[in-house]
C-alpha cells in the first residue's frame, strides 16, 4: 500500500513540476512576461532599498515649495518643499507593503474558500458561493470607502479592506479548478486507499491549483495597489503615511494643478501605472501558459482576467 | 421553459443580493462609533435628560432586531432618514444626485464602449500592422492608468480650455435669467472632462476584448465559407464577424458595472461633479451616516439591477447560457 501511495505522490510531483516548468517557460518565451517580472522585481528592490537610495528625507524641507525639477532634485519638490523622488521611492515601499499584504490575505481566504467549496461541495459550497456572489456584485470602491470609514484610517485597516474585497474572484477560479481536479482518477484512487481529506487536499489538490493561484496573486497585486491609490486619493488612508496614493492626493488637495506643478503628479502616476502593467503582463502570461484554452472566462476576475486569452498566432495578445 | 427558469433564478438572486446589501448596510452602521444622539447632543450643557429624550425619540433604546425591522419598513416606504448635515430627507437628496450622475456616467460608458469596439475592430482587421500595435499598447496603457491620474492629467492638459469643476457656472443666473439652451450648453461644457476621463479609463478593456474576440471569430469556419463565397472583406467583417464577436462585450459590460461605479466616484470627486459619488465622499467627511448609508445602498442596488439587466440582455443574445 505504501508503494501505491508513493507512486501517487511522485506522479503529482511530476505533474506539478511540469506545471511550474510551464511558468518558467512562459517567462522565458514571452517577452511580455519577462518585462512584467522585470518591472515587479525593479519596484520590489527599490522598496526594500528605499532608505539607502532615497536622496533626501521625506519629512524635512530640502527645497522651495513646488520647485521644478533640477539637477539636485530630479523630480522637483512638492507643496511642502519635500523632494518628490524621495517621496516616490519611500511611498512605493508602503504601497507595495499594502498591495502585497492585502494580496497575501486575499489569496489565503480566496484559495481556502475555493478549495473548501470545490472539494466539499453541497451546502458549504452554496453558502460560500452566495458570499462570493455578493462581493462580486457589490461596487468595491464604494464598499471599501464605507468600511475604511467605519474602521478609521490606518495602514492595517486599508490592508484589511482590500483583502476582504478582493478574494472573491480567486475563490471562484480556484473552486472551478478544484471541482475538475477532484474528479480525476488519481484522486479517487487516493481516496479509495483511505487517504484523509486533509492529505488529498494537501498532497494532491494544492499542487494542482498552485500555479493558478500564483497567476491570480500577481493579478490581484495590481488590483490591490489600484484600490490603495484610489482609497488614499479619497483621503481614507492614514494621513501621516506617504504612499503612491497619498502623493496624488496631496498634489490634488494642495492645488498642484493650478500651480502648474506637473512633476508632483506625473512621475507618481507613471510608477503606479508601470507596476500595474507589470503585474498585468506577468499574470496574463502565466494564465495563458496554464490554460491555453481559457478564452472568455465568464467568472474570472472582473478587471484583469476577464479577457479572452485570445487570438491566434504570435500577433495576438 | 428552461429560459423562464433562468430568468426567474436571476431575478431571485438579484433580490437576495439586494436584501443582503440592506442587512449588511444596517448592521455595518450600527457598529460605528457614535450615533445620532451623540451627534445631536453635542451642544454645550446637554443634560442626561436631553440625551435620554433623544435616544427614545430615535428609537435607539429598542433592541437591535426591532430597529432592523423598523429600518426595513421605512426603507420599503422610501424613507432613508434625514441627513445630519443638511437636515433634509436623504432619499430626496440622493435622487437629485443620481439625476446628475446618470448622464455623466452614461455618456462616458457608452463612449468607451463605442470607442473600444471601434478600435478593437480596426485592430483585429489590420492585425499585426503598426496601427494595431499602437492601438493595442495604448489600450493596455489606458487600462492600467489609475482613474485619478487620468483625471489629473486631463486637468493639466485641458484645464485652461474647459470648465474643471462642478456642473454649471454658479454665476450664470446672476446677471439676468439664463435661457434653457444656454444652460444646457453650459452643462454640456462642464460634462466634457468628467465624461472623457471615464471614457478613457474604461475604453482600453473594451478594445482588448473586442480585438481578441474578433480574432477568434475570424478563425471560425463560417468566415472561411463567407470568404470562399467571394464576399468582400468589409462585408465579411460587418455582417459575419462583428455581430458574433460582440457577445463577450455584453459580459464585460455586466462585469464592469461595479468598476464603472468606482471610476465614477473618483471622477466626481476630481471634478466636483454634484453626483452620488461626490455625495458619498462628502458624507464620509461630514460623518453624515444616513447619507453614507443611503448612498451606498443606492449604488449597491443600482449595480445589482444593472447586472441583472445585463444578464437578461446576454440571455436574449445567447440563450445557450441557461443550459
A233 interface with B at CB cutoff 8 Å: yes
- Per-residue model confidence (pLDDT) at position A15: 46
Contact B17 A137 (CB under 8 A): yes
Percent with pLDDT over 70 in chain B: 90
pLDDT band at B137 (very low <50, low <70, confident <90, very high): confident
pLDDT for A12 beyond 60: no
Contact B209 A257 (CB under 8 A): no
Distance from CA of A241 to the nearest CA of B (A): 19
- Per-residue model confidence (pLDDT) at position A300: 32
Contact A265 B153 (CB under 8 A): yes
- Per-residue model confidence (pLDDT) at position A313: 32
Please tell me the pTM assigned to this model: 0.82
pLDDT for B198 beyond 90: yes
Give the whole-angstrom CA distance, residue A290 versus residue A23: 7
pLDDT for A17 beyond 60: no
- Per-residue model confidence (pLDDT) at position B211: 87
pLDDT for B109 beyond 90: yes
Nearest chain A residue to B314 by CA: give it.
A298
- Per-residue model confidence (pLDDT) at position B151: 92
- Per-residue model confidence (pLDDT) at position A306: 30
Among B152, B250, B283, pick the best mutation site for testing chain A contact (most A Cβ within 10 A): B152
Contact A150 B31 (CB under 8 A): yes
Nearest chain A residue to B217 by CA: give it.
A311
Instruction: Name which residue leads in pLDDT, A76 or A99.
Output: A99
Percent with pLDDT over 90 in chain A: 18
- Per-residue model confidence (pLDDT) at position A110: 93
Q: Is the dihedral of CA A55, A58, A62, A67 positive or negative?
A: positive
- Per-residue model confidence (pLDDT) at position A96: 93
A292 interface with B at CB cutoff 8 Å: no
Mean pLDDT computed over B6-31:
83
Nearest chain A residue to B276 by CA: give it.
A142
What are the chain B neighbours of A316 within 8 Å (beta carbons)? Answer: 127, 212, 215
Instruction: Name which residue leads in pLDDT, B219 or A162.
Output: A162
Per the structure block, which three cell numbers stand in for B299? 449604488
- Per-residue model confidence (pLDDT) at position A27: 67
Nearest chain B residue to A227 by CA: give it.
B146
> Scanning the structure block, which residue is given the C-alpha cell 472632462?
B193
Give the whole-angstrom CA distance, residue A315 versus residue B212: 10
pLDDT tens-place string over residues A261-273: 888 889 999 999 9
**B23 in Cβ contact with B72 (< 8 Å):** no
- Per-residue model confidence (pLDDT) at position A55: 81
Mean pLDDT computed over B199-215:
88
Indicate the residue of A226, A235, A309 with minimum beta-carbon distance to B146: A226
Distance from CA of A224 to the nearest CA of B (A): 12
Indicate the residue of A137, A236, A308 with minimum beta-carbon distance to B304: A137
Distance from CA of B180 to the nearest CA of A (A): 31
Give the whole-angstrom CA distance, residue A129 versus residue B309: 21
pLDDT band at A108 (very low <50, low <70, confident <90, very high): very high
- Per-residue model confidence (pLDDT) at position B17: 84
What's the gap between Cα B54 and its chain centre? 37
pLDDT tens-place string over residues A278-287: 998 888 778 7
Contact B159 A316 (CB under 8 A): no
Give the whole-angstrom CA distance, residue B207 versus residue B115: 8
What are the chain B neighbours of A235 within 8 Å (beta carbons)? Answer: 285
Distance from CA of A192 to the nearest CA of B (A): 33
What are the chain A neighbours of B152 within 8 Å (beta carbons)? Answer: 248, 251-252, 257, 265, 269
Q: Where are the domains of chain A?
A: 2-63+75-295
What are the chain A neighbours of B262 within 8 Å (beta carbons)? Answer: 139-142, 230
pLDDT for A76 beyond 90: no
Mean pLDDT computed over A101-129:
91
Mean pLDDT computed over B122-151:
88
pLDDT for B264 beyond 80: yes
- Per-residue model confidence (pLDDT) at position A273: 92
- What is the CB-side half-sphere exposure of residue A86 using CA atoms within 13 A? 19
Indicate the residue of A147, A236, A272 with minimum beta-carbon distance to B149: A272
Distance from CA of A22 to the nearest CA of B (A): 23
Instruction: Name which residue leads in pLDDT, A210 or B160.
Output: A210
Distance from CA of B45 to the nearest CA of A (A): 28
- Provide the b/e sequence for A115-132 (b: ≥16 CB within 10 Å): bbbbbeeeeebeebbeeb
- Per-residue model confidence (pLDDT) at position B140: 86
- Per-residue model confidence (pLDDT) at position A298: 32
Mean pLDDT computed over B199-219:
87
Among A95, A131, A139, A276, pick the best mutation site for testing chain B contact (most B Cβ within 10 A): A139
What are the chain A neighbours of B261 within 8 Å (beta carbons)? Answer: 139, 141-142
Give the whole-angstrom CA distance, residue A22 versus residue A286: 8
CATH number (1.10.3720.10, 1.10.357.10, 3.60.20.10, 1.20.81.30) of B2-32+80-322 reads: 1.10.3720.10
pLDDT for A7 beyond 80: no
What are the chain A neighbours of B146 within 8 Å (beta carbons)? Answer: 226, 229-230, 233, 248, 269, 272-273, 276
Contact B28 A302 (CB under 8 A): no
Indicate the residue of A134, A265, A268 with minimum beta-carbon distance to B17: A134
pLDDT band at B173 (very low <50, low <70, confident <90, very high): low
- Per-residue model confidence (pLDDT) at position B58: 67
Nearest chain B residue to A261 by CA: give it.
B156
pLDDT for B113 beyond 60: yes
Indicate the residue of A234, A257, A303 with minimum beta-carbon distance to B152: A257
**B288 in Cβ contact with B278 (< 8 Å):** no
Helix axes B147-158, B180-218, angle to 10 degrees: 130
pLDDT for B143 beyond 90: no
Mean pLDDT computed over B285-313:
84
- Per-residue model confidence (pLDDT) at position B299: 87
Contact B251 A139 (CB under 8 A): no
- Per-residue model confidence (pLDDT) at position A19: 55
Give the whole-angstrom CA distance, residue B159 versus residue B193: 9
pLDDT band at A58 (very low <50, low <70, confident <90, very high): confident
Q: How many CB pairs under 8 A join A and B?
A: 168
Q: Where are the domains of chain B?
A: 2-32+80-322
Among B13, B32, B212, B217, pick the best mutation site for testing chain A contact (most A Cβ within 10 A): B212
Thinking of the domain A2-63+75-295, which architecture would CATH place it in?
A: Orthogonal Bundle (1.10)
Percent with pLDDT over 70 in chain A: 83
A293 interface with B at CB cutoff 8 Å: no
Q: Where are the alpha helices (DSSP H) in chain B?
A: 2-30, 36-40, 48-57, 64-76, 90-125, 130-144, 147-158, 180-218, 221-228, 233-235, 242-245, 247-270, 276-285, 289-317
Indicate the residue of B29, B252, B303 with minimum beta-carbon distance to A306: B252
Most confident of A100-109, A173-182, A227-236, B308-317: A100-109
Q: Residue B128: which region, alpha, beta or left (left: phi > 0; alpha: psi -120 to 50)?
A: left
Distance from CA of A308 to the nearest CA of B (A): 6
Amino acid at each position: 500500500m505504501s508503494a501505491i501511495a508513493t507512486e501517487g505522490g511522485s506522479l503529482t510531483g511530476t505533474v506539478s513540476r511540469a506545471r511550474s516548468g510551464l511558468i518558467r517557460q512562459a517567462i522565458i518565451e514571452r517577452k511580455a512576461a519577462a518585462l512584467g517580472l522585470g518591472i515587479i522585481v525593479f519596484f520590489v528592490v527599490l522598496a526594500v532599498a528605499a532608505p539607502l537610495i532615497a536622496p533626501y528625507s521625506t519629512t524635512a524641507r530640502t527645497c522651495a515649495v513646488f520647485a521644478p525639477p533640477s539637477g539636485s532634485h530630479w523630480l522637483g519638490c512638492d507643496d511642502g518643499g519635500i523632494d518628490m523622488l524621495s517621496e516616490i521611492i519611500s511611498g512605493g515601499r508602503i504601497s507595495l507593503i499594502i498591495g502585497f499584504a492585502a494580496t497575501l490575505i486575499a489569496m489565503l481566504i480566496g484559495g481556502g474558500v475555493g478549495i473548501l467549496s470545490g472539494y466539499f461541495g453541497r451546502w458549504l459550497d452554496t453558502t460560500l458561493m452566495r458570499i462570493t456572489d455578493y462581493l462580486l456584485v457589490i461596487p468595491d470602491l464604494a464598499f471599501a470607502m464605507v468600511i475604511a470609514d467605519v474602521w478609521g484610517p490606518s495602514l492595517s485597516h486599508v490592508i484589511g479592506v482590500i483583502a476582504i474585497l478582493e478574494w472573491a474572484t480567486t475563490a471562484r477560479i480556484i473552486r472551478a479548478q478544484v471541482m475538475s481536479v477532484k474528479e480525476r482518477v488519481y484522486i479517487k484512487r487516493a481516496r479509495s486507499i483511505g487517504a484523509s481529506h486533509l492529505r488529498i487536499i494537501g498532497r494532491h489538490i494544492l499542487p494542482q491549483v498552485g500555479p493558478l493561484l500564483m497567476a491570480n496573486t500577481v493579478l490581484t497585486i495590481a488590483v490591490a495597489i489600484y484600490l490603495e491609490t484610489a482609497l488614499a486619493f479619497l483621503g481614507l488612508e492614514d494621513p501621516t503615511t506617504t504612499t503612491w496614493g497619498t502623493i496624488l492626493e496631496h498634489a490634488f488637495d494642495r492645488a498642484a494643478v493650478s500651480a502648474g506643478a506637473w512633476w508632483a503628479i506625473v512621475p507618481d502616476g507613471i510608477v503606479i501605472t508601470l507596476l500595474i502593467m507589470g503585474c498585468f503582463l506577468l499574470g496574463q502570461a502565466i494564465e495563458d501558459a496554464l490554460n491555453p484554452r481559457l478564452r472568455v472566462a465568464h467568472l474570472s476576475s472582473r478587471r484583469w482576467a476577464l479577457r479572452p486569452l485570445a487570438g491566434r498566432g504570435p500577433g495576438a495578445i | 421553459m428552461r429560459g423562464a427558469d433562468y430568468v426567474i433564478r436571476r431575478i431571485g438572486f438579484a433580490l437576495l443580493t439586494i436584501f443582503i446589501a440592506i442587512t449588511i448596510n444596517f448592521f455595518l452602521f450600527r457598529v460605528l462609533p457614535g450615533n445620532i444622539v451623540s451627534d445631536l447632543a453635542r451642544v454645550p450643557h446637554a443634560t442626561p435628560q436631553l440625551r435620554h429624550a433623544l435616544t427614545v425619540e430615535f428609537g435607539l433604546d429598542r433592541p437591535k432586531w426591532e430597529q432592523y425591522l423598523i429600518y426595513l419598513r421605512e426603507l420599503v416606504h422610501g424613507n432613508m432618514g434625514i441627513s445630519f448635515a443638511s437636515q433634509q430627507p436623504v432619499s430626496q437628496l440622493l435622487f437629485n444626485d443620481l439625476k446628475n450622475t446618470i448622464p455623466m456616467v452614461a455618456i462616458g460608458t457608452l463612449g468607451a464602449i463605442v470607442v473600444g469596439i471601434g478600435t478593437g475592430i480596426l485592430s483585429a482587421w489590420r492585425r499585426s500592422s503598426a496601427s494595431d500595435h499602437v492601438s493595442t499598447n495604448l489600450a493596455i496603457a489606458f487600462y492600467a492608468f489609475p482613474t485619478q491620474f487620468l483625471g489629473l492629467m486631463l486637468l493639466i492638459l485641458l484645464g485652461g480650455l474647459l470648465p474643471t469643476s462642478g456642473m454649471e457656472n454658479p454665476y450664470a443666473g446672476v446677471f439676468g435669467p439664463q435661457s434653457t439652451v444656454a444652460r444646457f450648453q453650459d452643462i454640456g461644457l462642464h460634462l466634457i472632462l468628467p465624461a472623457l476621463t471615464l471614457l478613457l479609463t474604461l475604453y482600453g478593456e473594451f478594445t482588448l476584448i473586442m480585438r481578441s474576440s474578433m480574432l477568434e471569430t475570424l478563425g471560425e469556419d463560417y468566415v472561411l465559407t463567407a470568404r470562399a463565397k467571394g464576399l468582400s472583406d468589409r462585408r465579411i467583417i460587418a455582417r459575419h464577424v462583428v455581430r458574433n464577436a460582440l457577445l463577450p462585450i455584453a459580459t464585460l459590460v455586466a462585469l464592469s458595472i461595479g468598476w464603472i461605479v468606482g471610476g465614477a466616484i473618483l471622477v466626481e470627486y476630481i471634478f466636483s461633479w454634484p453626483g452620488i459619488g461626490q455625495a458619498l465622499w462628502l458624507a464620509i467627511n461630514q460623518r453624515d451616516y444616513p447619507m453614507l448609508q443611503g448612498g451606498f445602498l443606492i449604488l449597491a442596488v443600482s449595480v445589482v439591477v444593472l447586472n441583472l439587466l445585463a444578464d437578461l440582455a446576454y440571455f436574449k443574445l445567447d440563450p445557450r447560457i441557461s443550459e
